[in-house]
Amino acid sequence: MIKNDLFLRALKGETVDRPPVWMMRQAGRYLPEFMKIKEKYDFFTRCRTPELASEITVQPIRRYGMDAAILFSDILVIPQAMNIEVEMKLNFGPYLPNPVRTQQDVDSVVIPDVTTELDYVYNAIKATKELLNDDIPLIGFAGSPWTILCYCVQGQGSKNFDKAKAFCFTNPVAAHQLLQKITDTTIAYLKEKIRAGVNAVQIFDSWGGMLSPTDYKEFSWQYINQIIEALKDHAPVIAFGKGCWFALDEMSKSGASALGIDWTCSAKNARYLTGGNITLQGNFDPSRLLSPPEDIKKMVRQMIDEFGKDKYIVNLGHGILPNIPLENAKAFVDAVKTYKA
């Protein structure tokens, strides 16, 4: 039994004394203890070494005592397993030397045996569960098929993912084949993560907001929905589409346990668009963690008041930035832990 099950209770929509809190990208680059590990090991070595991944996962928990841990990993381990080369370049980010641009490229993408290709992730989960000792739940995650496609086709990060969109709009048959391959792999991968011990999973659609509402339905949502359908009876699923407020109504009817909200959508609108019946997660602007700690505490309390303490998980509206002062991250977490309705 998980000792602090506040996060899981919020996902079920139960009444709580205060909402749970965790932060996207909490295991990582703003922590000095993480930077020491980063100096010694390159990015994918950290992902592929269970002892390192588990240690990085629990570092923020030791320091701040969040109500949930999220496994240190990366969304791009999926394309790596699918026979697509992915590098992580220093001061640049992801780089794919052979992007997927043609039908032939799509044909050469494999649906792997996730139990062997990604076994290091499941070993990291088991190692992390030992370190957590059932104190708090562990979250596993994957990128949405559309977000993964963006990197596979663009070959790197982008402000508009123009090449990825062009590929979808000029070669939709190949695009949908690639999206389906990613979806099938992701379902198998997340099911295996649940078997290994994660208590919930989150799907990150970081680039969903790049699409119009019509294109979002065609190239992103239908594939996320497949994943939710396949997983919802095995573990709670959180769907997070950055910039996708226009899809919240449909997302709320999918069987997901919670929806992530970014900072461009107010609590009032998010509750309205989702019918007020589903747990919401978010939506503090990560840059606002640069405000003075006392201001952060006030804003967090106000945010909880606006969302309401029930059916709510306090989080950022996207990942924590590398330049956030430690005391500011602490102020964010402490404001939630001391919250009284």
Which residues carry a binding-site annotation for substrate?
25-29, 44, 74, 151, 206, 318
The answer to whether the beta carbons of residues 96 and 88 sit under 8 Å apart is no
Q: Quote the DSSP letter at residue 134.
A: T
Helix 162-170 vs helix 172-196: crossing angle, to nearest 10:
120
Q: Are strands 87-89 and 93-95 parallel, antiparallel or unpaired?
A: antiparallel
Q: Positive or negative CA dihedral for 289, 8, 201, 313?
A: negative
Nearest C-alpha neighbor of 260 from the set 232, 241, 276: 241
What's the N-to-C CA distance of the chain in angstroms?
A: 27
Residue 70: exposed, middle, or buried by beta-carbon count in 10 A (0-12, 13-18, 19+)?
Answer: buried
> 135-144 in b/e burial notation, b at 16+ Cβ within 10 A?
ebbbbbbbbb
Structure-token pair, residue 124: 């990291």
DSSP 8-state secondary structure symbol assigned to residue 18? S
Across the chain, the runs of DSSP E, i.e. the strands, are 69-70, 87-89, 93-95, 138-143, 200-205, 237-241, 258-261, 279-284, 312-316
Residues annotated in the binding site, as ranges? Answer: 25-29, 44, 74, 151, 206, 318
Say how far apart CA 117 and CA 72 lie, in whole Å. Answer: 17
